Amino acid sequence: MFRIIRALLLTLTVLLLGACSMVRLGYDQLPSLTYWWLDSYLDLNDAQSVALRRDLEALHSWHRIQELPQLAKLLASLQTQALQDTTPQFTCQVVDQLKAHLQGVLTQAEPGLATLVRQLTPAQMQHLAHQLDKREQAWREEWAQISPAKLAKRRAERLIERSESFYGRLSDAQRSLLTNSVLANPYDVAQAEAEMLRRHQDLRQTLQALAQGGDSASQAQARLHGLQQRLLDSPNASYRTQIAAFTQANCATFAQLHNSTSPAQRQQLVSRLQAYELDLRTLSAPR
């Protein structure tokens, strides 16, 4: 559920992957896209659909007014930093800021979600379980059922593609830097799969408890908030340790890549950030 709600931060994903024009187009479509995504997991009835669409429009409006200006400010500050060398610590600080924005959106979504999930029927819970099973199989096909060499190649290709969306064409040395960082920090497929299964079980158990209808509105929100916290910070200490090390390594790699860039590459990054900032400020302007 909360994985689905993260679609409301599609703008941040587009900032990493897409073209500037897609920010405005994708952002305006978020309520509809999120509704259809949720509906595919829950098979909502007419009354639930009406209420969810209303709540998503309200959440989208809140995010546009409250969050987009803050994200635009972050992009503006990054433009100054983009012309200078950076550190792994600074990079991880940016990651933490984005995580805080995600947490804010999830918290804002809790009241509407609490109302929705208390109305779920046994048939809808069965539909959710079926969809999660399909998602697990698709994940295994993409990540677990390929050789370690193919997995590393895929990760390196994606990392290079995302980096070039910021900096333009990377040099051979820069590409090697990213490829070597992937090889030095292998993706623990077994650990990742175990965490995915834990999250899905946690989701099903939490929603099942809420669907039984014994909680008040405040109790339901508290349950969902707990689910949110377990999503963002796994109760599995081993997984938390792995992710912390993985994040630190990625921050170090990005800092090393940035510090290797030419003035032209850094200017390319500034231009990209400026375009995104303009998009966010345009989207957040009064309508």
Task: Output the 3-class SS for the chain.
Answer: CHHHHHHHHHHHHHHHHCCHHHHHHHHHCHHHHHHHHHHHHHCCCHHHHHHHHHHHHHHHHHHHHHHHHHHHHHHHHHHHHHCCCCCHHHHHHHHHHHHHHHHHHHHHHHHHHHHHHCCCCHHHHHHHHHHHHHHHHHHHHHHHCCCHHHHHHHHHHHHHHHHHHHHCCCCHHHHHHHHHHHHHCCCCHHHHHHHHHHHHHHHHHHHHHHHCCCCCHHHHHHHHHHHHHHHHCCCCHHHHHHHHHHHHHHHHHHHHHHHCCCHHHHHHHHHHHHHHHHHHHHHHCCC
State the average pLDDT over residues 143-171: 93
Single pTM value for the model: 0.88
Separation between Cα atoms, residue 253 and residue 158, nearest integer Å? 14
Kindly report, residue by residue over 222-263, the tens digit of the pLDDT: 999 999 899 889 999 999 999 999 999 999 999 999 999 999
Residue 5 confidence (pLDDT) above 60: no
Residue 15 confidence (pLDDT) above 80: no
pLDDT at 286: 85
Residue 217 confidence (pLDDT) above 50: yes
Residue 131 confidence (pLDDT) above 90: yes
Residue 148 confidence (pLDDT) above 80: yes
pLDDT at 23: 67
Mean per-residue pLDDT over the chain, rounded? 89
In angstroms, how far is CA 269 from the centroid of its own chain? 21
pLDDT at 103: 85
Residue 33 confidence (pLDDT) above 70: yes
State the average pLDDT over residues 68-96: 93
pLDDT at 29: 85
